[in-house]
Amino acid sequence: MDAKYTTHEFDVLVIGAGGAGLRAAIEASANGLKVALVCKSLLGKAHTVMAEGGIAAALGTVDSRDTWQQHFADTMIGGNLANHWQMAQIHALEAPDRVRELEKWGAVFDRTTDGKGNINVRHFGGHTYKRLAHVGDRTGLELLRTLQDRGVHQGIEVFMECTVYSLLKKENRVVGAFGYFRETGSPVLFKAKSIVLATGGIGKLYRVSSNSWECTGDGFALGYLAGAELADMEYVQFHPTGMVWPPSVRGLLITEGVRGEGGVFRNNLGKRFMFDYIPPKYKDKYASTEEEANTWFQKVIVEGRKEETVKERKPPELMSRDVVARALWTEIEQGRGFEHGGIHLDIATRRSAEDIKKKLPSMYHQFKQLADVDITKVPMEVGPTCHYMMGGIKVDPETQGSTIDGLFAAGECSAGMHGSNRLGGNSLSDLLVFGRRAGLSAAEYSKKIKTFEQIDESELDQLNHEMNRPFENPKGENAYAILSDLQQVMEKGAGMYREEKGMMNCLKELDQIKKRLEKVSTEGNRMFNPGWHTALDLRNLLIVGEAITRAALIRRESRGAHTRIDFLNYSESFSKTRVIVKKSAQEMQVSSENLSQIPKDFEAELIAKNILNEVVLNQLRGKIAAH
């Protein structure tokens, strides 16, 4: 080989050290196995740390009407029935136990002030009742800290600043992974009996994103290249509220908790416009007038009354993210935005300065330090930002197993749980519920494997040569220039709004970028070289970008985060299918398969309890008009 490499052997290898990866590693380790955790950045710095608003779970600590069935229904309706219903059911059932478990392990949640001291919860978009357990607006940080402490004390071995470049297989089974340490460039081989992918999202594929630097679609591409099927790749969520100014922080997330605490949107005419954008599926659940919304706000948020005692409906600012993001985009595109191209989000006139600093400390400091804006006095200017990927590696709902033996996935790089649109707060409970299940399943699988496989030395030589290729193109293109062009191509052709001509052009431009990538050039050597890291990340981003575009071309309807301006309505036929992407010898293969439907008796039970609405279900299934 061109470089020496170290070799490690583990029963379970977890790639990704965010909430899903940590929870998977904890569970696998608790089953008595030797577990390694590989993180691209430093331990405790994964993107989960940026999750702010809370963990969604039907705890019932504030509103006794909340149940797992209602949480399930909200998740399915929020996902526009594109979810794998069984994953949504498992999630709703198990989320409360995972939150209480986290509390038992040391998480310090905000408490109710009714003398009982229960875990406090707040409102979030698309949830019928208050349901998000929170720690101010720093919930992800607390979740990660708690899991990190638990994992370290359990003896999990951690490999920090290490990137996995390729999974290794024998027939249809994973047997290891090959990568490099980012600091030194030294290659490393992990032999493993099972692998859990928990690498997070794909946000760096788009120019304006709330995601941190490491979200380059690694798990998606690793699984795809190993032969695993991807599902639901057309569903990319744009969060309605990202910072728009200054340019250096454009896209940085503004928690939905601002709206949960009473924040409202206004355009440059001073109009509170969300009442104009309530879709049929939410007509009965959200206030139709500003007067009704303000009365609800006064009674529930300001006075702290129990919501079950209030007849008014909650404000439309608390609708699901796909609905709100499209509303903001429309207002901005039609010229009703502000000087930096955004919309005003106002909490200053709704809550006292003391309340804002107490409930939203991170938001206060974020705007004060980065934009010199005091959100206790003036509105924030916000706009949509690429935030979350609902699609990912196709997994079994119960085990999180992929279509490759021994390969499991959890968190944002797995598919099925969120359908076409994720509700706020469901990501953190998703991490806990399915991270645990992935770790348990990986452990059970590993116990059946008696020995580690021999790895073909020539395969490692070839992979190492691939990684060195950017150094062999002294007159090639700069990786950052290619990345910038890729982001613009994706934003233009497969962003929030899509149509066939634009996506076909997008695919042609992606082909051109593939050719440019073959000649990407990096100066220096493998030590301390972020340009080289970016050159290697481009392979993964291009795979994900093509998968998103090809899947979006197939789905000729608008559903959730996938909006086709040439097919604006729900389709009855597409309501029953999901799009699958798989690697073939020639090119990316795209097909459709049946989407598992809610069992009729379970659905009838929820309709009878007024948890699901039959008219809304028929609208989302394209059986009757939804507009």
Q: For residue 290, which of 275, 301, 280, 269 has the smallest C-alpha distance?
A: 275
Q: Which of 127, 259, 326, 562 is catalytic?
A: 259
The 3 state secondary structure assigned to 266-315 is: ECCCCCCHHHHHCCHHHCCCECCCHHHHHHHHHHHHHCCCCHHHCCCCEC
Among candidate residues 22, 195, 12, the one with its CA nearest the CA of residue 105: 22
Tokens of 384: 């949509």
The DSSP code sequence of 448-484 is T--SPPPPPHHHHHHHHHHHHGGGG-TTSEEHHHHHH
Q: DSSP string covering 362-378, please?
A: HHHHHHHHHH---TTTS
DSSP, collapsed to helix, strand or coil, labels residue 622 as: coil
State the pLDDT at residue 58. Answer: 97
Distance CA 432, CA 400 (A): 13
Residue-wise pLDDT for 194-251, tens only, equals 999 999 999 999 999 999 999 999 999 999 999 999 999 999 999 999 999 988 889 9
Cβ–Cβ under 8 Å, residues 547 and 220 = yes
Say if residue 361 is preceded by a cis peptide, omega within 30 of 0. no
From 71, 98, 122, 239, the catalytic residue: 239
DSSP 112-146: -SSSS-PBPEE--TT-SS--EE-STT-HHHHHHHH
How far is it, in rounded angstroms, from Cα 215 to Cα 609? Answer: 41
> Alpha-carbon Rg of the chain, whole angstroms?
23
Mean pLDDT taken over the chain: 95
Rounded distance between C-alpha atoms, residue 419 and residue 78, angstroms? 8
Hunting for tokens 């608390």 — which residue is that?
318
φ, ψ of residue 188 in degrees (nearest 5):
-145, 140
303 Cβ contact list (under 8 Å, min separation 6): none
Q: Is residue 351 annotated as a catalytic residue, yes or no?
A: no
User: What is the SS3 assignment for 579?
Assistant: strand
Q: Is 206 helix (H, G, I), strand (E, B) or coil?
A: coil
CATH no., domain 239-386: 3.90.700.10
| Weakly modelled stretches of the chain, pLDDT under 50 | 1-2
Burial 499-516 (b: 16+ CB within 10 A, else e): eeebbeebbebbeebeeb
Helices 500-517 and 479-493, packing angle to 10 deg:
170
- Helices 479-493/530-554 angle, 10° precision: 20
Nearest to 475 by CA among 536, 514, 519, 516: 519
Any idea what the Cα angle at residue 164 is, between residues 13 and 48, rounded to 5°? 75
- Burial code (b: 16+ CB inside 10 Å, e: under 16) for 451-484 equals eebebeeeebeebbeebbbbbeeeebbebeebbe
Q: 3-class SS at 359?
A: helix
Which of 358, 8, 320 has the alpha carbon at shortest distance from 159? 8
Alpha-carbon gap, residue 427 to 433, rounded angstroms: 10
pLDDT tens, residue by residue, 26-52: 999 999 999 999 999 999 988 898 888
The answer to whether the beta carbons of residues 144 and 44 sit under 8 Å apart is yes
Of residues 527, 213, 201, 249, the one with CA closest to residue 371: 249
Question: Per 3-state DSSP, what percentage of the chain is helix, strand, and coil (rounded to 5)?
Answer: 40, 20, 40
Query: 474-571: which CATH architecture?
Result: Up-down Bundle (1.20)
Backbone φ and ψ of 389, nearest 5°: -110, 115
Is the Cβ–Cβ distance between 420 and 235 less than 8 Å?
Answer: yes
- CA 377 to CA 33: how far, in whole Å? 54
The predicted structure's pLDDT at residue 627: 64
The yes-or-no answer on residue 131 being catalytic is: no
Domain boundaries, the chain: 239-386, 474-571
Q: Which uninterrupted H or E stretch holds 27?
A: helix 19-30
Q: What is the DSSP letter of 595?
A: P
